Chains A and B, each alone.
Chain A
């Protein structure tokens, strides 16, 4: 592959910067890793959920008599069994008199085997009276649309309006103002591990839930609130998580239903999504409409920005918290005078929506970067130069209050321009070949959705082996391995000598979890503090033994030695194990345990931001409309690559998912039903559709990150989506107003061009 990708380990660092294979690799490749679906509890029942087949209906009759009578059925629940159980907002856990979307939970059963549970579902009799429904965003916004909830006039659930600077004045002072619209579809998170939860609520004082999650505390709080418990009475076990892609941030109805069934049956209950159910119960991204307006000066400076975003919330605004994000985002990328953001969440009679990989930023950027490319081109400017001219820099203080301790945005732009051959390709490619550039930023955690605390503990056995306790879930990104590397670096030992214990809220110290790209930064800092605490304890013991000051000691290469002397100087150094043994077996009998937590000194927002630029090259087949992505050139300022091998994995996965979302992924909806509820019909790229990927890791060594690191978990996908969309627009000679950019959508544009060319109309050919 390329030489741009692997920076050398940092000076003075022994472990950080090393290409470290994941420490749980053996278990994962040999089939030993245990996922929630692999757990069998004694007496475990199998739960199934009866879901609404209607987008909106009144429940006329609901009769569970026959189901209850079926041998093997141990629990049947409807709203009558838990009338006060509210899942979120004003949403009852089980439908109360009415259903508001296809897939809504109406009743549930638990039985001794899944076949009996299926049979019991079939025996539940429900009579519905269908009601007029609103199943698309456009329809919901029409003045005569039926109301999804009578309390929400115009079907508007929540709005968020925010101005920075004086946008009106800034637009008035602009030489050129350009407006574009864009639209993104319903998308699914397509998790490898389907939705699954095992709940054991046999003891009413303790609810145990085995389930994949991005945030155990969020699940604990939600379940505790619903069932009248304290958070600590809810235990979440989340050992191995089969991917998340923003799809496991909040507990979903099946978690609550499993708990309810378990309480009723007084036995553990497992609920796992069956084939198409995975596409019915999901909380992916909803349809979204965007209007972008940008005012620039003739010399290519951005003065004013306007973003107007309308989200389909589905039948309940479960995820209204994503509404404020697009208001902040431009502050992290560009300098400008004024920004206006108008965001609204709109109810429809469809499954409540959440987010997909890349969050709202990814899909918005697929449109916004096409728009900004057009702005640059209208000015006669190279878009790469346009982005660069307006890019923020380290030391900037943004209008949303963000400060940038490190910022490699311009360097990222320069690297991808250089490595992609942008200068010789942009504007010079043959017809139906395109090249596009996108840029992006991502916060590493932040106090917007939570107080953002992470904590960690370290214990050291007298044989010198270290156990690290962390609440950060490893969703596949390799967090546990990188946390072991951080602890190992601090203690001067090998990552393989660190045993990571995670994934059980009864055991690990508090950690908000793996969302908002906070893991490496917040948890990494907490682990560093905990390891330093342990090291300080060892250092005082070792210093006494060696007759020096603790500050004079260096922990490296598995030894504790005196700074400036040979690491193995006889009588003047100790092995790590000897130091630990001296602590434990010495007079003090000290058992070394380090603890630490990390929280930002800021009152709000984030301490660090990563930045990236990418160039995508595509080829469009004018006969079929199919797009082939030939190459993606990536540069990402991630502060420092703690484990370059895992970083590459993150980049690969995000390039894959980014191009997939822009080109392929769409839940085709009809009357609130997903028409393509399987991976055969919901397209993802296959092995032969992968582009060449060229990586450059830009290391700006953030002043606050652990060893200078920032995020790399979601920043890159936002940029991939931008670059691929801009490249397709470039190949066709005009922005595409909608994603995914499927063959038939492209063919419509191509045929339109051909008709215009045949009539001799100007400007209709791709360059």
Chain B
């Protein structure tokens, strides 16, 4: 219950230097701020969603500088001093969607969209590690996110077909390729 929850000590604020989507930010944070608090609160990047805040839903997924998926709700912001991360806002370039984003649109891998930024970041992390992922790679890479709406079926279809959307123009809208 809330009443019993211990509020962590406020601690001393410190300056966090963090590169987000290529831009350097310097923000004052306390030890109890998570990376997600900083992304959404201090930096106002609302694309990354906040769900459970306890690592169980995956909607807060962002990338570290190696393009690996990180649950930003679980990690204290100050541990990221001097690091570089990518959020959903950093996937597109010049207003053009990344292939995985385009694949999500075309394959209807997005419904309510609340999980979508986290699911897409997880999906992109799979592709960063294995450009041609096998079924098991996709299953493992998406294991930490829950998409209640799509049942992951079209999400997996979009990940399998993302390569088709590389280089801009993709196949016909609403296409299904397997």
Q: Which residue of A lies closest to B135 (CB)?
A: A688
Distance of A121 Cα from B45 Cα, bound (Å) = 29
Number of interchain pairs (Cβ within 8 Å): 197
0 or 1 for each of A16-27: is its CB under 8 Å from B? (1 = yes): 001111101111
User: In chain B, residues 102-122, which have Cβ atoms closer than 8 Å to a Cβ of chain A?
Assistant: 102, 104-106, 108, 110-117, 120
Find out whether the CB atom of B139 lies under 8 angstroms from the CB atom of A688: yes
Q: Are A26 and B114 in contact (CB under 8 A)?
A: no
Which residue of A34, A48, A690 contacts B46 across the interface (Cβ within 8 Å)?
Answer: A34
Instruction: State whether A645 and B174 are in contact (beta carbons under 8 Å apart), knowing that A240-B113, A241-B112 are contacts in the complex.
Output: yes
Task: Kindly list chain B residues whose C-beta atoms are within 8 Å of the C-beta of A25.
Answer: 104-105, 110
Cβ-based interface call for B142 (8 A) = yes
- Whether B3 pairs with A126 at a CB distance below 8 angstroms is yes
A25 to B173, CA, bound (A): 12
Q: How far is the CB of A196 from chain B (nearest CB, A)?
A: 10
Question: Do A29 and B120 touch (CB < 8 A)?
Answer: yes
Are A192 and B149 closer than 8 Å at their CB atoms? Answer: yes
CB pair B115 A22 closer than 8 Å: no
Q: How far is the CB of A567 from chain B (nearest CB, A)?
A: 22
For residue A432, give the distance in angstroms from its CB to the closest CB of chain B.
24
**Interface size class, chain B:** 35 or more
Residue B130 interfacial (CB < 8 Å): no
A19 to B175 alpha-carbon distance, docked (Å): 8
Q: Does A383 contact B (CB under 8 A)?
A: no
- One of B54, B173, B176 near A1 (C-beta < 8 A): B176
Q: Does A191 belong to the interface (CB within 8 Å)?
A: yes
The complex places the Cα of A646 from the Cα of B45 at a distance, in Å, of 29
A88 to chain B, nearest CB (A): 23
Q: Does B127 contact A (CB under 8 A)?
A: no
Q: Does A670 contact B (CB under 8 A)?
A: no
Instruction: Give the CA-CA distance A37 to B56 in the complex, in Å.
Output: 18
- Chain A residues with CB below 8 A from B57, complex form: 192, 679
A657 to B96, CA, bound (A): 34
Q: Is the CB–CB distance between B151 and A656 below 8 Å?
A: yes
A residues near B174, Cβ cutoff 8 Å: 18-21, 645
Q: Is A90 in contact with chain B by the CB < 8 A criterion?
A: no
Size of interface on A: residues with Cβ below 8 Å to B: 73
When the two chains form their complex, are residues A53 and B3 in contact, meaning their CB atoms are under 8 A apart? yes
Chain B residue nearest to A655 (CB atoms) is B151
A35 to B150, CA, bound (A): 19
Whether B152 lies near A193 (C-beta < 8 A) is no
Task: Say how far B126's CB is from chain A's closest CB, in angstroms.
Answer: 11
Q: How far, in angstroms, from A121 to B7 measured CA to CA in the complex? A: 10
Q: CB-CB < 8 A to A688: which residues of B? A: 136, 139, 143
Closest residue of chain B to A240, judged by CB? B113
- Are B108 and A49 closer than 8 Å at their CB atoms? no
A649 contacts which chain B residues (CB < 8 A)? 108, 111, 149-150, 154
Docked pose: A278 CA to B32 CA in angstroms: 21
> Is there a chain B Cβ closer than 8 Å to A151's Cβ?
no
Query: Are the C-beta atoms of B47 and A26 separated by less than 8 Å?
Result: no
> Complex: how many Å from CA A122 to CA B46?
29
CB-based nearest A residue for B153:
A652
CB distance from A396 to the nearest CB of B (A): 33
Are the C-beta atoms of B108 and A687 separated by less than 8 Å? no
- Which of B87, B151, B154 contacts A685 (CB under 8 A)? B151
Report the minimum CB–CB distance from A444 to chain B (whole Å): 20
Contact A31/B47 with A25-B110, A122-B7 known, Cβ cut-off 8 Å = yes
Beta-carbon contact of B52 and A278 below 8 Å: yes
Contact A29 B105 (CB under 8 A): yes
The SS class assigned to the B binding surface is: loop
* A569 proximal to B (CB < 8 A): no
Question: Is A119 positioned at the interface, with any CB of B under 8 Å from its CB?
Answer: yes
**Nearest A-chain residue to B30, judged by Cβ:** A115
Contact of A51 among B2, B108, B138, B178 (CB under 8 A): B2
In the complex, which residues of chain B have a beta carbon less than 8 angstroms from the beta carbon of A126?
A: 3
Say whether A759 faces chain B, with CB atoms less than 8 Å apart: no
Does any Cβ of B come within 8 Å of A734's Cβ? no
* Residues of chain A within 8 A of B147, CB atoms compared: 192
- State the Cβ distance, A473 to closest chain B Cβ, in Å: 10
> Which A residues are CB-close (under 8 A) to B63?
none
Chain A, residue nearest B10 (CB): A115
Q: Is the beta-carbon distance between B2 and A118 smaller than 8 angstroms?
A: yes
Residue on A with the closest CB to B53? A275
Which A residues touch B82, using CB under 8 A? none
Q: Which residues of B contact A141 (CB under 8 A)?
A: none
Binds B, one of A475-483, A721-729, A739-747: A475-483
B51 touches A29 (CB 8 A): no
Contacts of B97 in A (CB 8 A): 26, 29-30
A95 to B125, CA, bound (A): 48
Interface: B161 (CB within 8 A): no
| B19 at interface, CB cutoff 8 A | no
B151/A653 in contact, CB under 8 A? yes
User: Out of B105, B112, B148, B153, which one reaches A693, CB within 8 Å?
Assistant: B153
A178 vs B18: C-alpha distance when bound (angstroms): 68
Does residue A124 face the partner (Cβ distance < 8 Å to B)?
A: yes
Q: Is B89 an interface residue (CB 8 A)?
A: yes
Interface string of A336-356 (1 = CB under 8 A from B): 000000000000000000000
Interface centre among A18, A49, A656 (most CB of B within 10 A): A656
Give the contacts of A470-522 with B (CB-CB under 8 A): 475-478
Q: Are A476 and B113 interface neighbours, CB within 8 A?
A: yes
Partner of B156, one of A192, A241, A277, A687: A687
Whether A118 touches B148, Cβ cut-off 8 Å, given contacts A31-B47, A192-B51, A274-B2, is: no
Interface membership of A142, Cβ < 8 A? no
The reply to whether A686 and B143 form a contact with Cβ atoms under 8 Å apart is yes
The reply on B81 being an interface residue by CB < 8 A is no
Q: Does A611 interact with chain B (Cβ within 8 Å)?
A: no
Q: Which of chain B's residues have a CB closer than 8 A to the CB of A684? A: 146, 148
CA distance A687 to B10 in the complex (A): 39
Which residues between 25 and 66 of chain B lie within 8 Å of chain A, taking CB atoms? 32, 40, 44-57, 59
- Is B92 close to A, CB under 8 A? yes
Contacts of A122 in B (CB 8 A): 3, 5-7
B72 at the interface (CB under 8 A from A): no
A623 at the interface (CB under 8 A from B): no
Inside 8 A of A476's CB, which chain B residues have their CB? Answer: 111-114, 149
Name A residues whose Cβ lies closer than 8 Å to a Cβ of B: 1, 6, 18-22, 24-35, 37-38, 40, 48-51, 53, 115, 118-119, 121-122, 124, 126, 190-194, 240-243, 245, 274-275, 277-278, 280, 475-478, 645-646, 648-649, 652-657, 678-680, 684-688, 690, 693
What are 22 inter-chain pairs, A to B, with CB distance below 8 A? A20-B174, A21-B108, A28-B113, A30-B97, A34-B46, A35-B49, A50-B3, A51-B1, A115-B32, A121-B5, A192-B146, A240-B113, A275-B53, A476-B149, A648-B108, A649-B150, A649-B154, A652-B151, A652-B154, A679-B146, A680-B56, A687-B156
Across chains A and B, which 5 residue pairs bring their CB atoms closest together, nearest first? Answer: A31-B47, A656-B151, A476-B112, A19-B174, A242-B114
Chain B positions near chain A (C-beta within 8 angstroms): 1-7, 10, 32, 40, 44-57, 59, 87-89, 91-92, 97, 101-102, 104-106, 108, 110-117, 120, 136, 138-139, 142-143, 146-154, 156, 173-176, 178
